[in-house]
Amino acid sequence: MPDAKSTPAGSPQGKENVDRKVHGESVGLPSFYSPRSRPIHEHDGALATRLDRLDRLDRDELSLSSLALTPTSTSASTDDANPPLPPPSLLSPAFTPPATPGTATPSPAAEHQPHGVPVDSSIPSGGCGTKRPRLLETLPEVQCIVRARIPTVSGTEMFLHLYTNNVDSKEHLAIVFGPHIRSQSLDAPREGETEMDRMVRGAYTGRLYPGRTRSGMVGGSSSVDNDPEEVVTPSGPPLVRIHSECYTGETAWSARCDCGEQLDEAARLMSLPSAVNGGIVIYLRQEGRGIGLGEKLKAYNLQDLGSDTVEANLLLRHPADARSYGLATAMLLDLGQEEIRLLTNNPDKIRAVEGPNREVRVTERVAMVPLSWKGKGGFRSREVEGYLKTKIEKMGHMLDMGGLQ
């Protein structure tokens, strides 16, 4: 593959390379990406078959919550021109499930500190629900292709890591808070690369500055002794959020879900001075719980016609949740994390991210309580109440329904 020197990003050849298969991978990456340190695919021919199989698996075997629910509420006989006024709240205390550890709204004293509850998925009473998601036997292979420092509007800096993998052609991301968390696949030397190549793909220690000529990496491992900032000895696992892409909630200001708020809150918690063990948001491109944006928009129309979020998916012949988390597990391992504190209310996610052989262990679950339930801003809407209610009632989310008024 041509490197940065021979094929500039803006050149016609660079553009042409964007959609070209490289080493058998449909990575769709521009030509200025550095070569992989090792080929992920040994046999190009097997890839299409594998992707096809995984595509099908996504809908069956990888489905975390293929609930056998029969859609019920789509047959509303109301006149389209005169829809009934929504009730003040969709929720009744009668639905409140028994208290589950970690579901309560945290006390004001705890508001600046993400407090979690210990979990252990290996025992039934471990706080991870009872369902066992079906997982692939082996984890996907991932490689961090490039990393860059991102100063954020809150003043905190983070490092954005872009990954490719051997199961799909999407660019999954890890948003890393804490300079001590490093990607092994990024730091590994690549054949024929120069020091400038290494710095351009983000495999350097410390900070870049105009005129810098050395990456600060020796023999594939980071020599962090030249940057005291990176000499951090974590005293425990980092805080991790596994976030699934949500264009509507993160970009289009949707009040149908709390995805945008959750992403912001995860970043805020990971930026706290007390977050000395660092934090990672694994940002997976599985829009709409894996069904894609187009199908999610259809689901929204079905929701406006009376279905809840699960029923709408089923009516469209999708599983209630078509996501998988093997890529997240593999990315966490690449970032050197075998134990994590996970920000979630979703018990399926805990088990799934641990991997088929518990390659990663979730030691603690930190609840994601909507900000408005805590009286800390956020927003309320009829739609988000329905969304959260369905998560609690049908998808086993560990949230205290009492937060819904």
Catalytic machinery residues: 321, 323
Q: How many residues bind ligand GTP (CB under 6 A)?
A: 25
Does position 66 interact with ligand GTP (CB under 6 A)? The reply is no
Work out how close the CB of 273 gets to ligand GTP at its nearest, in angstroms, rounded to a whole number. 25
Does position 368 interact with ligand GTP (CB under 6 A)? The reply is yes
Q: 287 vs 400, which CB is nearer to ligand GTP?
A: 287
Distance, CA of 36 to CA of 203 (rounded, Å) = 13
Out of 270, 299, 335, 404, the residue judged to bind ligand GTP by CB under 6 A: 299
CB atoms within 10 A of CB 39: 13
Does position 121 interact with ligand GTP (CB under 6 A)? The reply is no
- Judged by DSSP in three states, 117 sits in strand
Out of 58, 187, 261, 287, the residue judged to bind ligand GTP by CB under 6 A: 287
Work out how close the CB of 216 gets to ligand GTP at its nearest, in angstroms, rounded to a whole number. 36
**Residue whose C-alpha is closest to residue 324's, from 79, 101, 66:** 66
CA triplet 290, 291, 293: central angle to 5 degrees?
A: 105
Q: 186 vs 404, which CB is nearer to ligand GTP?
A: 404
Does position 349 interact with ligand GTP (CB under 6 A)? The reply is yes
Does position 309 interact with ligand GTP (CB under 6 A)? The reply is yes
Q: What is the DSSP letter of 25?
A: B
Q: 4 vs 291, which CB is nearer to ligand GTP?
A: 291
Does position 389 interact with ligand GTP (CB under 6 A)? The reply is no
- Which residue matches tokens 């019920």? 72
Distance, CA of 338 to CA of 238 (rounded, Å) = 10
Out of 17, 31, 164, 346, the residue judged to bind ligand GTP by CB under 6 A: 346
Does position 291 interact with ligand GTP (CB under 6 A)? The reply is yes
Work out how close the CB of 293 gets to ligand GTP at its nearest, in angstroms, rounded to a whole number. 8
DSSP result, 173-224: EEEEESTT---HHHHS--TT--HHHHHHTT--SS---TT-----EETTEE-G
Buried b (16+ CB within 10 A) or exposed e, 219-255: eeebebeeeeebeeeeeebbbbbbbbbbebbbeeebb
Out of 100, 262, 337, 372, the residue judged to bind ligand GTP by CB under 6 A: 262
Can you give the three-state secondary structure of 42-110, one letter per residue?
Answer: CCHHHHHHHHHHHHHHHHCCCCCCCCCCCCCCCCCCCCCCCCCCCCCCCCCHHHCCCCCCCCCCCCHHH
**Residue whose C-alpha is closest to residue 355's, from 44, 174, 191, 142:** 142
The burial of 204, by beta-carbon neighbours within 10 Å (0-12 exposed, 13-18 middle, 19 or more buried), is given as: buried
Out of 244, 277, 329, 372, the residue judged to bind ligand GTP by CB under 6 A: 244
Q: 102 vs 179, which CB is nearer to ligand GTP?
A: 102
Q: 281 vs 335, which CB is nearer to ligand GTP?
A: 281
Does position 396 interact with ligand GTP (CB under 6 A)? The reply is no
Q: 215 vs 329, which CB is nearer to ligand GTP?
A: 329
Work out how close the CB of 63 gets to ligand GTP at its nearest, in angstroms, rounded to a whole number. 12
Window of 98-106, 198-206, 282-290, 358-366 that interacts with ligand GTP by CB under 6 A: 282-290
Q: Are 183 and 161 in contact (CB under 8 A)?
A: yes
Window of 31-39, 133-141, 270-278, 285-293 that interacts with ligand GTP by CB under 6 A: 285-293
Structure tokens of 348? 């399926």
Does position 388 interact with ligand GTP (CB under 6 A)? The reply is no
The burial of 337, by beta-carbon neighbours within 10 Å (0-12 exposed, 13-18 middle, 19 or more buried), is given as: buried
Q: 299 vs 330, which CB is nearer to ligand GTP?
A: 299
CA atoms within 13 A on the CB side of 278: 28
Q: Which residues of the chain form contacts with ligand GTP (CB under 6 A)?
A: 243-246, 256-257, 259, 262, 286-289, 291, 296, 299, 309, 313, 344-346, 349, 368, 387, 391, 397
